Homo-oligomer: A and B are copies of this chain.
Amino acid sequence: MIYFRSDYSLGAHPKVMQALMDTNMEHTDGYAEDRFSYETADMIREMIGKPDAHVHFMVGGTPTNTITIAAALRPYEGVISPATGHIYVHETGSVEANGHRVFAAPTEDGKLTPEAIEKVLLHHEDEHTVIPKMAYITHPTENGGVYTKAELTALSECCKKHGLYLYMDGARLGTALTWPGNDLSLKDIANLVDAFYIGGTKIGALFGEALIIMNDNMNDHFRYMVKRACALLAKGRLIAIQLKALLEGGEDSLYYELSRHENELAIKLSKGVVEKGYELWIPHQTNQVFVIVDNDKIKELEKDFFFYTWCPYDETRSVIRLVISWGSTEEDVDAILAAL
- In the bound complex, residues from chain B placing their C-beta under 8 Å from that of A104 are 104
- What separation, in Å, do the CA atoms of A299 and B123 have in the docked complex? 21
- What separation, in Å, do the CA atoms of A237 and B276 have in the docked complex? 36
The chain B residue sitting closest to A234, CB to CB, is B8
Pick from A93, A101, A225 the residue with the most CB of B within 10 Å: A93
Contact A128 B231 (CB under 8 A): no
- In the bound complex, residues from chain B placing their C-beta under 8 Å from that of A92 are 76, 127-130, 224, 227-228
- What separation, in Å, do the CA atoms of A231 and B5 have in the docked complex? 21
- What separation, in Å, do the CA atoms of A147 and B235 have in the docked complex? 28
- Of A58-66, A247-255, A290-298, which binds chain B? A58-66
- In the bound complex, residues from chain B placing their C-beta under 8 Å from that of A94 are 227-230
- In the bound complex, residues from chain B placing their C-beta under 8 Å from that of A101 are 93, 96, 102
Contact A91 B128 (CB under 8 A): yes
- What separation, in Å, do the CA atoms of A131 and B212 have in the docked complex? 25
Instruction: State whether the Cβ of A223 lies closer than 8 Å to any Cβ in chain B.
Output: yes
Contact B6 A30 (CB under 8 A): yes
Contact A30 B10 (CB under 8 A): no
The chain B residue sitting closest to A24, CB to CB, is B11
A121 to nearest B CB, angstroms?
14
B-facing residues in A84-143 (Cβ within 8 Å): 89-94, 96-102, 104, 123, 127-131
Instruction: State whether the Cβ of A196 lies closer than 8 Å to any Cβ in chain B.
Output: no
Instruction: State whether the Cβ of A272 lies closer than 8 Å to any Cβ in chain B.
Output: no
Contact A11 B30 (CB under 8 A): no
A307 to nearest B CB, angstroms?
11
The chain B residue sitting closest to A12, CB to CB, is B24
Instruction: State whether the Cβ of A161 lies closer than 8 Å to any Cβ in chain B.
Output: no
Contact A232 B127 (CB under 8 A): yes
The chain B residue sitting closest to A14, CB to CB, is B24
Which single member of B11, B25, B76, B306 contacts A327 (CB below 8 Å)?
Answer: B25
Given contacts A59-B59, A93-B101, A231-B231, 14 further A-B contacts (CB under 8 A): A11-B20, A11-B23, A11-B24, A11-B26, A17-B24, A27-B327, A74-B221, A89-B123, A89-B128, A92-B227, A92-B228, A94-B228, A128-B227, A229-B230
Give residues in A with beta carbon < 8 Å to B. Answer: 1, 3, 5-6, 8-12, 14, 17, 20-21, 23-31, 59-63, 66-67, 70, 74-76, 78, 89-94, 96-102, 104, 123, 127-131, 201-202, 206-207, 220-221, 223-235, 238, 306, 327
